[in-house]
Amino acid sequence: MTLPKLRNILLIDTFVLLTIYVIVLAGSSLQWRMLHDSPIVMYISLMIDKFGYVPYRDLLDVNLPGTYLIYALVGRISSYSDLGFRIADLIYLAAIAAPTWVWMRDFGKKVAWASALFGVMLYLSYGQVMSFQREFLILLPLMGALVTAVRFPERRFMSKYFIIGLLFGLAATIKPQAALGMPFLIAFQAWDLWRGEGLDRKRFLQMGVMTAVGFVIPIGMAILYLWQAGALPSFIEMAQNWWPLNLYITTITTDLQIVTGPVFRKYLWSGYITGILTLWLIPMFVGVWLALTSQLSASTKRRVWLLICLAWCYSIYTLLAAKFFPYHWFIYIYFVAQIAALCFVEQPQPVRGWKSLAPLVVLWLLVPVLLRPPAEFVSKLLGWEIPAPHNGRVDEIAAFLEENLQEGETVQPLDWTGGSVHAMLIAKAPIATPVVYDVIFYQNISSPYIQSWRQRFMGLMEADPPQFIIQIETNKPWIGGEDTTREFPALHAFMEAGYRIALAGDGYNVWERDRTD
């Protein structure tokens, strides 16, 4: 057997083993639970879907309508259960992997196979906490736009660019900065047309107009929905006041500290550089080198530069959010992983030296380091139980609410991501006020907007007191730094005067109001 044939067999066998591993890992993930942000957004979607609440008017939150739409669809199909959520998560992941394969197919079957595998393994490697994060949701319309650009027939020119704009518009209804890649994609499409069939000014103008028309339609529909529901003024108030407090007036850092001025600029620079410098850059540069020195067509090689531009612009995405949590980097890393998959592009024969070894080195040395199995999977292999959310706190509170909450009664969480909202989701307990998480009361306290929400909240609590108040005391994130507090005297006095502790748990209390009041 010749060396090239042996090398090819080793690559294919490794891909087969990785595919089997991905299937096993995906099956194991069905036992995972919702964590962190996902139960909060799912709860808000439950209130919208089942209880008729309107976002921004009845529920104070910073997410955009596209996120609620996807979560509500998932919730309705899955009955807002953990298993249904996990199944939907895997279906959505497969829906992302499919266009990824199609998009990378022109680089060769091995490249397409590797890019789909890398994407799935990357996502699942984060474990439960990444499930259905908004960056994950954004990837489907992004990959759909890329596939439309390369697979939709050019003779249907107007429809093609309308669909591309529509898909980027859908992504922008999840997070506005999701549209960052649209100008790059259109520019590269124009470059391809100019180098191929030719591109005159009229056609270029049509391309831009149709993309813009498609882009504004989902955004316009979201605005129309908010206007018809009477929520547009509340959304504008939130966007004008709360968003700036968390972005470029002051920002909450990854360490949950409020910083301003030079400290803020240093935080942005260090956070960006630390995040962009990843070990993925090693196989990425190798992949670029192998692709550009291969026998791929000129148009396919130009697509390598598009991938590089997309990776770069979705690294800038994190700067626009001024946040550097792992999920903020997910789209950037996803595109870097696709570029890394170019290590498996077919090379002109005979292949010697590093070119012959690079694919196997990447697959056998770097992939195990970069795509380690999640802790949940390792725990199951070792026969350990995956800890329940917040070490059982969520299930304890949910069981209490299911047993004691009566029809027509409401619950108020005093929490952020400490598990109370997740418990309310399980118990399907309606919320008493628009405040789903109380972080707004303790940050930027000199702001008139924050003070107004403190007053509004107390007014709502006094006018229609909830039957239960869930107070999370430990394992709850707190904002620190300048202009923050952990005190809310009026709320404390209200609870002491009208409530008693009905359930005292590990780091939390459930306060109950006497039903005779």
The DSSP letter of residue 64 is -
SS3 486: coil
**Residue 192 above 80 pLDDT?**
no
CA–CA distance, 125 with 375 (Å, rounded to integer):
8
CA distances from 475 to 212, 386, 388, 392 (A): 45, 18, 14, 12
Highest-confidence range of 334-343, 345-354, 373-382, by mean pLDDT? 334-343
Same domain, 95 and 66: yes
Same domain (yes/no): 375, 294: yes
Residues 106-165: pLDDT tens digits?
999 999 999 999 999 999 999 998 899 999 999 999 999 999 998 887 778 788 999 999
Mean pLDDT of 197-217: 83
Based on the fold, state whether residues 215 and 285 are members of the same structural domain. yes
Distance CA 211, CA 187 (A): 12
CA dist 199 and 206 (Å) reads 11
155-179 pLDDT tens trace? 787 889 999 999 999 999 999 999 9
Domain presence at residue 258? no
User: How deeply is 262 buried, as exposed, middle or buried, from its count of CB atoms within 10 A (0-12, 13-18, 19+)?
Assistant: exposed
Q: Are residues 295 and 158 in the same domain?
A: yes
Is the model more confident about 51 or about 367? 51
Judge whether 16 lies within some domain. no
Residues 436 and 311 in one domain: no
Please give the Cα distance from 65 to 137 (Å, whole number): 13
Domain extent at residue 152: 29-245+278-380
3-state helix, strand, coil in the chain (%, to 5): 70, 5, 25
Same domain as 321, residue 199: yes
Q: What's the confidence (pLDDT) of residue 308?
A: 95
Query: How many folded domains does the chain comprise?
Result: 2
Instruction: Say whether pLDDT at 433 is over 90.
Output: yes
Q: Looking at mean pLDDT, say which of 292-306, 353-367, 454-468 comes out highest.
A: 454-468
Q: In what order do the strands lie in the sheet with 480-481?
A: 251-252, 257-259, 480-481
Last residue of a domain, one of 327, 356, 380: 380
Residue 229's pLDDT band (cuts 50, 70, 90): very high
- Residue 49 shares a structural domain with residue 136: yes
Claim to verify: residue 373 and residue 396 sit in the same structural domain: no
Q: What is the pLDDT of residues 69-90, one digit of tens each?
A: 999 999 998 889 999 999 999 9
pLDDT at position 36: 85
Same domain flag for 296 and 359: yes
Average pLDDT, the chain: 89
pLDDT at 279 > cutoff 60:
yes
User: CA-CA distances (angstroms) from residue 215 to 201, 212, 423?
Assistant: 21, 5, 37
**Domain end residue (candidates: 341, 361, 380):** 380
Banded model confidence at residue 295, pLDDT cuts 50, 70, 90: confident
pTM for the predicted model, two decimal places: 0.92
The partner residues of 412 in beta bridges, in order of sequence, read: 469
Question: Using H for helix, E for strand and C for coil, what is the string for 129-191?
Answer: HHCCCHHHHHHHHHHHHHHHHHHCCCCCHHHHHHHHHHHHHHHHCCCHHHHHHHHHHHHHHHH
* Same domain as 348, residue 431: no
How large is the average pLDDT for residues 338-347? 89
| pLDDT exceeds cutoff 80 at 65 | yes
**In this structure, what token pair is assigned to residue 265?**
């600029």
Q: Is there a domain that residue 476 lies in?
A: yes
User: Where among 380, 415, 438 does a domain terminate?
Assistant: 380
* Across 366-389, average pLDDT: 85
